[in-house]
Structure 1
């Protein structure tokens, strides 16, 4: 399975973030219930949940990040520069780990899961395919939010 398109999406997300101030990243634009920081944290956490948790493997991110960015959450407090930098590192390192874990055959089981899109995932291959769509959607949200916070 090729995850290079996911890596490129994350690089684009990081570039978007790097062009903004911390205040802009934390701002919740009118019409949204989250911000750029939340969308970024959410893609990192969701990939871990749908690829690792559903495969019965330990997550590569801390539990507090999962609780902060999992589906159904919203920003409760501004993200710090330190947490943002940590998320940038995790965004790329988690994908390197995924690539390596795929190569060595770590994904042996998978717990079927139906997403909020109505897509049922039954394998790591399907999880990775869905993850790509999910991350593209959240990058799109962040791009729209960038337009609003830079006006």
Structure 2
């Protein structure tokens, strides 16, 4: 049986590490796109938040804790070059932890009842909210690797 609390602890640890990076990095570095890439650090972090919200809440038929504008800025296929406004770093920092707190509360409340399955690009089906949480942890690990690569290239 999957331990939801442990999965949330992994998500929180990952998000806390990203928050520390955002708080200690130069503002310009967060928005700079490394040569050969099409996104920046702030996009990578916002994308992690957006994907987790879409996969957990939207696919469960529940409202997300991010705005439509936030989602549009960071969904798959978006790029900083398409942003209508520059994302607010403080909002991204707030959502990193707030969405984990809310997820823990919502899991305890049992609001995840329905789920619309979908296929991940890596070749397997996500069939329920628990699998979505596990997939989010995997996804965030991938993007965290990119973020730390960007940081090394930009410093």
TM-score normalised by structure 2 residue count: 0.92
1:63-100 Cα distance to aligned partner (Å, 9 max, x none): 001011001111125845xx111111111111111101
Pairing of 1:1-150 with structure 2 (within 5 A): 1-2=4-5, 3-76=8-81, 77=83, 79=86, 83-150=88-155
Q: Secondary structure at the match of 2:30?
A: helix
Contact 1:37 1:79 in 2 (8 A): no
> Tell me, which stretches of 5 or more residues in structure 1 are unaligned?
none
| C-alpha separation in 1, matches of 2:73 and 2:123 | 23
1:101-123 Cα distance to aligned partner (Å, 9 max, x none): 10010000000111222221000
